[in-house]
Amino acid sequence: MTSQPNNQNTVSAFHIEPADVIKGLPSQFFANLVQKVNREIAEGHDVINLGQGNPDTPTPEHIVKELQNAAANPLYHKYPPFTGYSFLKEAIATRYLEDYGVVLDPETEVAILFGGKTGLVELPQVVLNPGDLCLVPDPGYPDYWSGVALARAEMSFMPLLKENEFLPDYNQISEEDKARAKLMFLNYPNNPTSATAPLSFYEETVKFAAKNKIIVASDFAYGAIGFDGKQPVSFLQAPGAKEVGIELYTLSKTYNMAGWRVGFALGNAEVISHINSLQDHMYVSLFGGIQSAAAVALTSSQDCVHELVARYESRRNALHSALDEIGWHTDRPSGSFFSWLPVPEGHTSVSFSDLLLKEAKVAVAPGVGFGSCGEGYVRIGLLSSEARLQEAASRIGKLGIFS
């Protein structure tokens, strides 16, 4: 009798243990919010989702057409230069000169990024060693934490409080933290608080950074979005800014190009060189067609940007007028496309967010997801039509919480 071959896999399965650096990454707080919202939608409810930060209108047509044309150019079917095409770096330098009066050397003071988020995560890895300290705003964009974790560095949080116009108070930073810190993140117009920073604050920041030998990273993702006729101030407008740090800019918000993944690091030539060195090991720059379209966005008429800002300002006014009518009174944001609203007494940011989702079918982002100092607030995105924003306020008003 012949034996039959054994077709069963004789290799025993084993557990793949992730590296310690992966274990040390912060948990994604808002993944739970997405699951809650999707559950309500799956049950057939009409959810007004104001908890996201994804632009809701399309990329301007002239930028899309340039990508379509550029995609047919055989030049862009090859690997681009490792640090990107000079024409794109020159375009961002031109835009900064026109908008902010800031002079940048395109080849030494501009690095092309795969979106602003990539730069925020890369930066700690090129300037921090394990155990080094980074000063981080609280509340703040959670991906600051991710970059610090990947560098195996440590964080010290700078509270952003209403009584200080949501700006960090450098006098409250301990002498130990000042001595240990090598990097500091700032973000204005701010996510999530929607606050803006005056030039005087950046001038103070340059002095603080120079005195304590701290690299400044200004996250300027919402740099084009300022209201009431006031253009947001760039950190690089402060004298001496390029000596102590960089600014990170993205086309995601300015031109509704979130899915295109085009960003820049700008400023200190040494830091720019380090970022380029890291990216040389990871990427071969962006597809050339996207670089061409990005250059067109930066160098063409900026009417589309002005129209976008006007749309967000109109939505802001519509939302806050509707909130005033239901008794939810709060300051109107001066920049970004978010509103930062205090929760009523008796609620945490999570319990109030859960209540709005369950009873009003309105999704907002709990403030505590951005840090402990975000407790007591929720973030609302101005990323739906005026009618939907007004309807959201009406639904909340029917709960009788503020009457």
The DSSP line for 217-261 is EEE-TTTT-B-TT-PPPPGGGSTTHHHHEEEEEEHHHHTT-GGG-
Supply the pLDDT for residue 3.
55
Pair 119, 252 in one domain: yes
Pair 265, 136 in one domain: yes
Task: Show the domain range for 150.
Answer: 78-299
Supply the pLDDT for residue 7.
59
The span from the CA of 105 to the CA of 30, in Å, is 38
Residue 10 clears pLDDT 80, i.e. is over it = no
Q: What is the CATH number of the domain that holds 358?
A: 3.90.1150.10
CA 330 → CA 53, 277, 321, 399, distances in Å? 20, 46, 10, 18
The span from the CA of 391 to the CA of 315, in Å, is 12
Pair 142, 286 in one domain: yes
The pTM for the full model equals 0.93
Pair 43, 91 in one domain: no
Q: What is the average pLDDT across 131-142?
A: 96
Supply the pLDDT for residue 9.
62
Does 88 fall in a domain? yes
pLDDT for 175-204, tens place per residue?
999 999 999 999 999 999 999 999 999 999
State how far Cα 398 lies from the chain centre.
33
Does 374 fall in a domain? yes
Q: What is the average pLDDT across 301-330?
A: 96
pLDDT for 210-246, tens place per residue?
999 999 999 999 999 999 999 999 999 999 999 999 9
Supply the pLDDT for residue 4.
58
Pair 176, 280 in one domain: yes
Residue 403 clears pLDDT 90, i.e. is over it = no
Mean pLDDT across the chain: 95
Supply the pLDDT for residue 8.
60
Q: What is the CATH number of the domain that holds 173?
A: 3.40.640.10
- Nearest to 318, CA basis, from 224, 385, 264: 385
Supply the pLDDT for residue 1.
53
- A 10 A CB-CB count for 79 gives 10
pLDDT for 270-308, tens place per residue?
999 999 999 999 998 999 999 999 999 999 999 999 999
Supply the pLDDT for residue 5.
58
Pair 315, 277 in one domain: no
Pair 370, 386 in one domain: yes
Pair 48, 94 in one domain: no
Residue 27 clears pLDDT 90, i.e. is over it = no
pLDDT for 31-45, tens place per residue?
888 899 999 999 999
Does 238 fall in a domain? yes
The span from the CA of 299 to the CA of 294, in Å, is 9
Residue 2 clears pLDDT 60, i.e. is over it = no
Does 208 fall in a domain? yes
Q: Extract the tokens encoding 385.
A: 């039509």
Q: Which of 264, 299, 334 is the last residue of a domain?
A: 299
Does 320 fall in a domain? yes
273 with 126: CB under 8 angstroms? Answer: no
Does 44 fall in a domain? yes
Q: What is the average pLDDT across 128-139?
A: 97
Supply the pLDDT for residue 375.
97
Q: Which of 272, 299, 326 is the last residue of a domain?
A: 299
Percent of the chain with pLDDT over 90: 89
The span from the CA of 242 to the CA of 271, in Å, is 10
Does 252 fall in a domain? yes
Pair 289, 312 in one domain: no
Pair 127, 225 in one domain: yes
Burial per residue of 176-193, b for 16 or more beta-carbon CB atoms within 10 angstroms, e otherwise: ebbebbbbbbbbbbbbbb
Pair 119, 84 in one domain: yes
Does 377 fall in a domain? yes
Q: Which of 299, 323, 341 is the last residue of a domain?
A: 299
Pair 51, 141 in one domain: no
Tell the residue number behind the tokens 């057409």, with chain if given.
Answer: 65
How many domains does the chain fold into?
A: 2
Percent of the chain with pLDDT over 70: 97
